[in-house]
Amino acid sequence: MADASYPDELLYHADHDWARIDGDVATFGITWFAQDALGEVVFFDPPAVGSTVTKDESYAEVESVKAVSDVIAPLSGEIIEVNAELGDAPEGINDDPYEAGWMVKVKLSDPSQIEQLLDQSAYVASLT
């Protein structure tokens, strides 16, 4: 499992989710802290492409051997792509939470919500 890291270029949600913004599309995943708390991920249940997600609400479930955790959407929008690789290799969420472990891509319905997210330093501060 990789060492703790929280990339500068991402924005964060207090429920331990990150978002990478690219115009009106954002990629979501869970942070190093979240995957570490969960332990070895054994299953990721992605939402359907085309479904909508709402900021601060659960859009997927991620499972370790003895725990199930809701994954919270940092922003609202419509799912345009899910990371199918995680179906066979959910360990990507542990090994590389910010690249191989990305979960969904979302077309944002309200980009102004971005302002409510935390930057790297604010998120890291929230962890202590």
Partner 1 sequence: MSRYTAVTDTDRAAMLDAIGVGSLEEIFEAQIPAGVRLQGGLDLPDGLPEQDVYAHLLELSKKNTSAEDEITFLGAGMYDHYIPAAIDMLLGRSEFLTPYTPYQPEVSQGGLQVMFEYQTAICELTGLDVSNASVYEGPSAVAAAGYLAKLASPKRPRYLVSGALHPDSRQTLETLSVGYGTEVVEIPLKDGVTDVDALRELLADGGDQVSAVIFQQPNFLGAIEDVQAISDLAHEQGALSICQADPIALGVLEAPGNQGVDVCVGEGQALGNRLDFGGPSFGFFAATNAHIRRMPGRIAGETTDADGRRGFVLTLQTREQHIRREKATSNICTSQALNALAGVVYLSWLGRDGLVELGELLIQRTHYARETLTAIEGVTALHGQPVVREFAISLPDGVDVGEVIALAQDRGVNPGFDLGRVRDDWKGGLLVALTEQRSRSDIDRLAEVLDESIRAYQGGERSPLGRSGSTQEVAA
Partner 2 sequence: MSAVDQTVVAYERPPADASSATPMQRERAVTIFEKGQEGRRAFEAPALDVPEVEGLIPASARRAEPARLPNVSEPELVRHYVRLSRRNFDLDSGFYPLGSCTMKHNPRLHERVTALSGHARLHPLQDPKRAQGALELMYNLERSLGEVAGLPHVCLQPSAGSHGELAGLLVTRAYHEARGDHRTKVLAPDTAHGTNPATVTIAGYEVVPVKTSPDGGVDVEDLRAKADSQVACLMLTNPNTLGVFDPNIEEIAKIVHGVEATLYNDGANLNAVMGISRPGDMGFDIVHYNLHKSFTQPHGGGGPGSGPIAVSDRIAPYLPVPVIQKLADGTFDLTSTPTDGPGSKTIGKLRGFQGNYGCFVRSYAYICSLGGPGLQDASETAVLNANYLLARLQELVGDRLPLAFGERCMHEFVLSGTVMKREVGIRILDLAKRLLDHGFHPPTVYFPLLVDEALLIEPTETETKETLDAFAEAVADIIREAEEDPSIAQSAPYTTPVRRLDEATAAKRPVLRQPL
Q: Which is nearer to partner 1, 46 or 77 (CB)?
A: 46
User: Which one of 8, 66, 84, 112 is in contact with partner 1 (CB under 8 A)?
Assistant: 66
Whole-angstrom distance, CA of residue 57 vs CA of residue 85: 24
37 touches 66 (CB < 8 A): no
| Alpha-carbon distances, residue 81 vs 5, 26, 127 (angstroms) | 25, 10, 30
Length of the chain: 128
Residue 64 sits in the site that holds partner 2 (CB under 8 A): yes
Minimum distance between the CB of residue 26 and partner 1, rounded to whole angstroms? 28
User: Closer to partner 2 at the Cβ: 94 or 113?
Assistant: 94
Q: Which stretch binds partner 2 (CB under 8 A): 19-27, 40-48, 76-84, 99-107?
A: 40-48
Least Å from the CB of residue 91 to partner 2: 8
- Please tell me whether residue 91 binds partner 1 under the rule CB under 8 A: no
d(CA 83, CA 44): 10
Helix (H) / strand (E) containing 25: strand 25-30
95 lies in the binding site for partner 2 (CB under 8 A): no
3-state class percentages of the chain: helix first, strand second, coil last, to nearest 5: 20, 35, 40
Does residue number 125 form part of the binding site for partner 1 (CB under 8 A)? no
Residues 25-44 that bind partner 1 (CB under 8 A): 43
